[in-house]
């Protein structure tokens, strides 16, 4: 189990707590994580993919090639990075397309052979480490905690390429969350987008925030203590976005946010500071419930 950690942009540059927690948790679970030196933005599928898909594919191929050089698989902590790199890997299985991309990469002395596997950190946790082992590692069960799971769109879709089953009623993340002893609650429009993707956050912030507000309202109605995501960009949208909603007077009480590895680390006995939970804008009030 050797993985090169593809950081992307939001994780290292806005929510480094996600990076720290992921490294600590994976190390503790015996997964070897190495740096992917010199990586760029994935580039973001809905943003750079909307600008120029050809450029997007070549830059994604360069990132994949960095890992291929290290003979490592890639692990990501953002659905955007997952979306780009996993889809690019899939598209580059086509030899004709890969050769066309390699013609450009040759000009910077690179060549991608199509060997880099791309895994989301939740896949590493559930498939490499396994549910049984994870359960054994829980030292501090998060009993009584009501978790509102937010999958994020690009973790599941396009389902044909992602391969996590139907995107209509997934249980993948709920199962992972419940291994910690917490309860994964149901809520209205649970699978709805956070609003940030496709360049909407950058281009039309009010529209993005309106998505977020709807989700947060639904989560509050269902009694969620914390929003748990497998995506740094959704995490960003829920944490920073709720702060923006509050400053606009559109939201009173926010719901705190935790990344999936931060929640698991907490259940494994790491402190909230080690997991970077106090680095979010919204204080982790739910900790009172489990201490």
Residues that bind another protein (CB under 8 A): 7, 9-10, 12-14, 16-17, 19-20, 35-41, 43-55, 57-59, 62, 91, 94, 97, 100, 104-105, 107-108, 110, 153-154, 157-159, 167-168, 189, 192-193, 195-200, 202-204, 207-208, 210-211, 276, 279
Q: Is the CB of 63 or the CB of 122 nearer to another protein?
A: 63
Q: How far is the CB of 101 from another protein (least distance, A)?
A: 10
Q: Is the CB of 123 or the CB of 279 nearer to another protein?
A: 279
Q: Is the CB of 43 or the CB of 146 nearer to another protein?
A: 43
Q: How far is the CB of 235 from another protein (least distance, A)?
A: 14
H or E stretch at 65: helix 53-70
Q: Is the CB of 32 or the CB of 52 nearer to another protein?
A: 52
Q: Tell me if 267 sits within 8 A of 147, measured CB to CB.
A: no
Instruction: Provide the angle, in degrees to the nearest 10, between the axes of the packed helices 53-70 and 95-105.
Output: 80
Q: Is the CB of 74 or the CB of 179 nearer to another protein?
A: 74
Collapsing DSSP to helix, strand or coil, 220 comes out as: helix
Q: Is the CB of 118 or the CB of 196 nearer to another protein?
A: 196
Q: How far is the CB of 185 from another protein (least distance, A)?
A: 20
Cα separation, 185 vs 115, whole angstroms: 38
Q: How far is the CB of 130 from another protein (least distance, A)?
A: 27
Sheet containing strand 2-6, edge to edge, reads: 32-35, 2-6, 73-76, 118-120
Q: How far is the CB of 263 from another protein (least distance, A)?
A: 17
Q: How far is the CB of 269 from another protein (least distance, A)?
A: 17
- Return contacts of 102-111, CB within 8 angstroms, 24+ apart: 102/61, 104/58, 105/58, 105/61, 105/62, 105/65, 108/62, 110/62, 110/65, 111/65
Cα separation, 20 vs 22, whole angstroms: 6
Q: How many CB atoms lie within 10 A of CB 109?
A: 6
Q: How many CB atoms lie within 10 A of CB 130?
A: 12
Q: How far is the CB of 131 from another protein (least distance, A)?
A: 27
Q: Is the CB of 127 or the CB of 189 nearer to another protein?
A: 189
Is the bond into 280 cis (omega within 30 degrees of 0)? no
């Amino acid at each position: 189990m050797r993985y090169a950690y593809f950081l992307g942009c939001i994780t290292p540059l806005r929510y480094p707590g996600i990076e720290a927690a992921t490294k600590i948790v994976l190390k503790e679970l015996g997964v070897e994580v190495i740096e992917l030196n010199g990586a760029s933005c994935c580039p973001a599928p809905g943003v750079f993919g909307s600008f120029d898909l050809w450029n997007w594919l070549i830059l994604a191929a360069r990132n994949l090639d960095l890992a291929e050089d290290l003979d490592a698989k890639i692990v990501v902590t953002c659905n955007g990075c997952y979306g780009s790199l996993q889809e690019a890997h899939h598209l580059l299985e086509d030899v004709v397309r890969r050769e066309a991309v390699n013609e450009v990469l040759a000009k910077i002395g690179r060549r991608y052979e199509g060997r880099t596997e791309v895994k989301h950190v939740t896949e590493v946790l559930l498939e490499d480490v396994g549910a049984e082992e994870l359960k054994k590692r829980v030292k501090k069960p998060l009993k009584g905690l009501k978790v509102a799971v937010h999958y994020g769109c690009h973790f599941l879709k396009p389902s044909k390429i992602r391969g996590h089953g139907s995107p209509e009623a997934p249980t993948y993340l709920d199962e992972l969350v419940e291994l910690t002893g917490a309860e994964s609650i149901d809520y209205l429009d649970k699978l709805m987008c956070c609003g940030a993707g496709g360049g909407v956050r950058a281009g039309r912030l009010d529209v993005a925030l309106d998505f977020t507000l709807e989700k947060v309202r639904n989560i509050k109605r269902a009694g969620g203590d914390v929003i748990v995501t497998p995506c740094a960009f959704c995490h960003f949208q829920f944490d920073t976005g709720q702060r923006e909603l509050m400053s606009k007077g559109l939201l009173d009480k926010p719901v705190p946010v935790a990344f999936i590895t931060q929640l698991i680390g907490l259940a494994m006995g790491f402190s909230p500071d080690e997991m970077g939970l106090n680095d979010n804008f919204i204080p982790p009030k739910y900790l009172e419930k489990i201490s």
